[in-house]
Chains A and B, each alone.
Chain A
């Protein structure tokens, strides 16, 4: 049975899984969940995903949620096909985990907060908190200064090979750029890295929606 991806066509976290499925050449069936109509909060959904969030996968009966966990599962299960996205040797693995953790703590809170305040909040009937958005942008800016240092020494976040950690940055990075907040271009190493990862065929294939 082909892997089923339950998500919303343009949801950042759904796209995070989709880009990895493409990189690993894993066929999948997309099952749309209408989050704008609250389908992700309905009992038929929360039975599988108790937090009422997209996406989740059903891989032949194995239900898994949290996009980064799904991506790790796919990258490990299909290690021998498509692009290698998870290192195997202990040192490279440690640097991968450092990069993956960096994305969750030194990038995601700021870009996802900005995406919420400046784009998504209005979809759910709310208003932008301008002070919060300003604070988030300034914090993101400081974090990307550190990224610029790291990426001045190596091609990707975990070393000289691309890993899941780089790809995890794509969905919210694209939303923030789309809103008109460009904190990448002014930082040459970040700009180089962003151009590289965002021009991959796998991202081109899904960035407009599944």
Chain B
């Protein structure tokens, strides 16, 4: 059984849980209390040197970085659940392109916006609205590019869903729910894609907690 060490509401923890659901991989969650700073304990950082959740223990094999864990699990179980990373070289290259787009042209803007507008208020801190405006302006132009890409194909890497699409869900859903839905909704192809991926049963199963 895959042991997932994480914080149930954490975006990155839920990404791993999502992939486990898509691939029909049973997992057991051991909660790490971020509010109490458990992730900065020496016993935790001995395993995850950056003091971040999640990490997995798969029968003694320890791995961290949610996207790396996702890739590891997907490659380990190619014949069950949803196929999430193509094996054909050209399709794989386009998957890697899409995965990189998610990291640098989406997450780089959405994650700090979510940090300012969702996480900071929860900790009693004031959002930096000037920074949010800057980030949002950059994100809008990125979403124009997404709109163009998604007008030609169903998903970010082609016509089949991949890990690249799913990786958008945790931060994307937090962003969408924090009053920014219009950024997706006003773009027909982006909206279509977002509705598609965010209504997947695997996501619905974990979106409120891994």
- Chain A contact residues, CB within 8 Å of chain B: 50-52, 62, 64-69, 72-73, 76-77, 90-91, 93-95, 97-98, 100-102, 104-106, 109, 143, 146, 149-150
A60 to chain B, nearest CB (A): 11
Q: A73 near B93 (CB under 8 angstroms)? A: yes
What are the residues of chain A within 8 A of B108 when measuring CB–CB?
109
Q: For the complex, would chain A's binding face be called helix, strand, loop or mixed by DSSP majority?
A: helix
Measured CA separation A70–B93 after assembly (Å): 8
Contact with A along B72-112 (1 / 0, CB 8 A): 10011000000000000110111011011101110010000
For B12, the closest partner residue in chain A by CB is A105
Given known A-B contacts A62-B90, A62-B93, A72-B93, A94 and B63 have beta carbons under 8 A apart: yes
Please indicate which of the listed interface residues A50, A90, A150 has the most CB atoms of chain B within 10 Å of its own CB.
A50
Contact with A along B55-71 (1 / 0, CB 8 A): 00000010111111001
What are the residues of chain B within 8 A of A102 when measuring CB–CB?
50, 65
B122 to chain A, nearest CB (A): 20
Q: A50 near B93 (CB under 8 angstroms)? A: no
B148 at the interface (CB under 8 A from A): yes
Given known A-B contacts A62-B90, A93-B75, A94-B68, A73 and B96 have beta carbons under 8 A apart: yes
Measured CA separation A146–B104 after assembly (Å): 23
Given known A-B contacts A50-B148, A62-B93, A64-B97, A100 and B68 have beta carbons under 8 A apart: yes
Given A73-B89, A102-B65, 7 more pairs with CB closer than 8 A: A51-B101, A62-B90, A66-B101, A69-B97, A98-B65, A101-B66, A146-B51
Measured CA separation A143–B94 after assembly (Å): 30
Measured CA separation A76–B86 after assembly (Å): 14
For B148, the closest partner residue in chain A by CB is A50
Q: For the complex, would chain B's binding face be called helix, strand, loop or mixed by DSSP majority?
A: helix
Q: B96 near A69 (CB under 8 angstroms)? A: yes
B49 at the interface (CB under 8 A from A): yes
Q: Can you show 11 pairs from A to B with CB atoms below 8 A apart?
A: A50-B148, A64-B94, A64-B97, A66-B96, A94-B72, A97-B65, A97-B67, A97-B72, A102-B65, A104-B67, A150-B49
- Chain B contact residues, CB within 8 Å of chain A: 45, 49-51, 61, 63-68, 71-72, 75-76, 89-90, 92-94, 96-97, 99-101, 103-105, 108, 142, 145, 148-149
- Shortest Cβ-Cβ A-B pairs, 8 listed: A66-B100, A101-B65, A69-B96, A97-B68, A146-B49, A50-B145, A98-B68, A69-B97
What are the residues of chain B within 8 A of A52 when measuring CB–CB?
145
Q: A97 near B71 (CB under 8 angstroms)? A: yes
Q: B64 near A98 (CB under 8 angstroms)? A: yes
What are the residues of chain B within 8 A of A72 when measuring CB–CB?
93, 96
What are the residues of chain B within 8 A of A90 when measuring CB–CB?
72, 75-76
